[in-house]
């Protein structure tokens, strides 16, 4: 079984397109959640932004672990060391379950105090706490799901990703409708119904994908159960590789929660508009994130094959695809903003308030399409500490700008969303420099 990749457009698309499909499906879930919650009123739609970003903080902990594990699996695939892949996967699963237990305890014991301190609306705080106490139960299933993603993408089998995510989407949409509004004989749970629906959907997606892995013989091909016991050396290696990425992603999304708290001080409409921007950013950024994940795995694989001289060539190919898709999205959003925003059913005032923000988001998507390729190329080299340093600099500038603009100067939220340009530019410059410096060529993982 040969898992080594080639530097071709066909190879890039064979990895990236299934990943993009698997990313689109959860984003459809988020948007559907918000459409259904929008039917409960603007407060529910606004609170979905706060709770959604909170859960995303823990989700990106798993994403950071995923990226680190994926880089290691891809490197072993490039070295054609198939026997080492299964053990790496199981150590990642163990680590993720420990992290999930910590996340659940923090949410149940600490989050209520933080939300009471930071939000102005007491009723909103109560709704958010009840929602998160339910929603966080899905975290262990999400984390194991993300480890499975690292395995499939790292071994160039991303085509199977869509099966689990499609199952999750169908279950989530069905249960959203039934549990939020009380349809099909199920209780009307309102805002909390979305939390229950998401947890059950995550469990369903995880079960289906493990059935697929077994049915397709992937477990046997990758020798997953040959060496699945605890391995201290590999556990230490995964933590060493992933810890900076986990911290990087966590501070990034924590800063986004800080941004949403500042937005909440501008009222329900401002928060609802920003929540829809998060949905749009997530949905239309799917291709960009797919090419980013492809960059990580292909760069690591190519380095594992000891053909370092082709890495920059590969990055340029990936950027062309990533920017191309982003430009199409940018044009579409600017030509049809009303159509994109009207699906939330919030009226003309809401749409008019959101359109200027949407135009800024569309430009930020193009800038992001370049930045994330260079940033994930750094991840693929194994220098996750470089990623952390870059992210820290970007977040400091992002938070200072938003605090001044939204809290001190009390400017419209359009100015706050302009911080995306500062953020992605700050990520791009050092990542571009590092990859062209060649310092990564002597790094071993």
Pairwise CA distance, residues 274 & 268, whole Å: 10
Summarize the confidence of residues 91-104 as an average pLDDT: 95
Q: What is the pLDDT of residue 252?
A: 81
What integer pLDDT is reported at residue 239 of this predicted model?
A: 93
pLDDT band at 325 (very low <50, low <70, confident <90, very high): very high
pLDDT at site 432? 96
Length of the chain: 445
For residues 79 and 244, what is the distance between their CA atoms, to the nearest angstrom?
Answer: 24
Q: What is the 3-state secondary structure (H, E, C) of the chain?
A: CCCCCCCCHHHHHHHHHHHHHHHHHHHHHHHHHHHHHHCCCHHHHHHHHHHHHHHHHHHHHHHHHHHHHHHHHHHHHHCCCHHHHHHHHHHHHHHHHHHHHHHHHHHHHCHHHHHHHHCCCHHHHHHHHHHHHHHHHHHHHHHHHHHHHHHHHHCCCHHHHHHHHHHHHHHHHHHHHHHHHCCCCCCCCCHHHHHHHHHHHHHHHHHHHHHHHHHCCHHHHCCCCCCCCCCHHHHHHHHHHHHHHHHHHHHHHHHHHHHHHHHHCCCHHHHHHHHHHHHHHHHHCHHHHHHHHHHHHHHHHHHHCCCHHHHHHHHHHHHHHHHHHHHHHHHHHHHCHHHHHHCCCCCHHHHHHHHHHHHHHHHHHHHHHHHHHHHHHHHHHCCHHHHHHHHHHHHHHHHHHHHHHHHHCCCCHHHHHCHHHHHHHHHHHHHHHHHHHCHHHHCCC
Q: For residue 1, what pLDDT is reported?
A: 62
pLDDT band at 25 (very low <50, low <70, confident <90, very high): low
The pTM is what? 0.76
pLDDT tens for residues 108-143? Answer: 999 888 888 877 778 888 888 999 999 999 999 999
Q: Which pLDDT score, from 0 to 100, does residue 285 have?
A: 82
Of the two residues 60 and 413, the one the predictor is more confident about is 413
Express each pLDDT in 349-381 by its tens digit: 889 999 999 999 999 999 999 999 999 999 889
* Residue with token string 């299934």: 18
216-253 pLDDT per residue, tens: 888 888 877 777 788 899 999 999 988 988 888 888 87
For residue 218, give the nearest of 154, 295, 290, 294 by alpha carbon: 154
Average pLDDT over residues 144-161: 85
- pLDDT > 80? residue 33: no
And the tokens for 125? 């705080």
**Whether the predicted pLDDT of 207 surpasses 70:** yes
| C-beta separation of 380 from 308 below 8 A | no
């Amino acid at each position: 079984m040969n898992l080594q990749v080639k530097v071709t457009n066909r190879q890039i698309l064979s990895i990236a397109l299934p990943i993009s499909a698997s990313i689109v499906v959860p984003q459809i879930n988020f948007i559907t959640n918000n459409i259904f919650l929008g039917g409960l009123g603007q407060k529910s739609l606004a609170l979905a932004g706060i709770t959604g970003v909170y859960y995303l903080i823990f989700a990106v902990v798993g994403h950071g672990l995923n990226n680190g594990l994926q880089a290691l699996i891809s490197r072993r695939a490039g070295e054609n060391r198939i026997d080492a892949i299964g053990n790496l996967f199981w150590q990642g699963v163990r680590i993720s379950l420990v992290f999930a237990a910590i996340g659940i305890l923090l949410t149940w014991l600490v989050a209520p105090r933080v939300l009471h301190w930071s939000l102005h609306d007491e009723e909103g705080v109560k709704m958010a706490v009840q929602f998160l106490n339910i929603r966080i139960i899905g975290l262990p299933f999400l984390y194991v799901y993300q480890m499975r993603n690292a395995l499939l993408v790292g071994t160039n089998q991303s085509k199977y990703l869509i099966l689990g995510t499609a199952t999750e989407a169908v279950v989530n949409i069905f249960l959203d409708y039934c549990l939020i509004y009380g349809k099909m004989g199920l209780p009307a749970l309102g805002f909390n119904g979305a939390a229950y629906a998401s947890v059950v959907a995550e469990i369903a997606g995880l079960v289906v994908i493990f059935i697929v892995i077994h049915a397709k013989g992937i477990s046997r091909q990758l020798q997953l159960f040959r060496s699945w016991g605890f391995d201290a050396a590999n556990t230490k290696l995964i933590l060493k590789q992933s810890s900076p990425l986990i911290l990087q992603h966590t501070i990034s999304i924590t800063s986004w929660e800080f941004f949403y708290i500042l937005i909440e001080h501008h009222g329900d409409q401002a928060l609802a508009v920003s929540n829809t921007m998060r949905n749009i950013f997530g949905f239309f950024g799917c291709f960009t994130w797919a090419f980013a994940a492809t960059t990580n795995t292909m760069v690591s694989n190519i380095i594992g094959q000891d053909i370092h001289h082709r890495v920059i060539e590969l990055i340029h190919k990936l950027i062309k695809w990533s920017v191309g898709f982003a430009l199409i999205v940018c044009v579409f959003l600017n030509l049809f903003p009303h159509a994109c925003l009207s699906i939330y059913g919030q009226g003309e005032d809401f749409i008019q308030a959101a359109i200027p923000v949407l135009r800024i988001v569309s430009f930020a998507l193009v800038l992001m399409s370049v930045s994330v390729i260079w940033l994930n190329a750094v991840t693929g080299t194994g220098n996750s500490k470089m990623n952390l340093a870059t992210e820290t600099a970007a977040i400091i500038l992002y938070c200072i700008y938003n605090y001044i603009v939204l809290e001190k100067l009390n400017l419209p939220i359009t100015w706050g969303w302009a911080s995306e340009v500062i953020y992605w530019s700050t990520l791009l410059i050092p990542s571009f420099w590092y990859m062209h410096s060649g310092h990564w060529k002597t790094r071993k993982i």
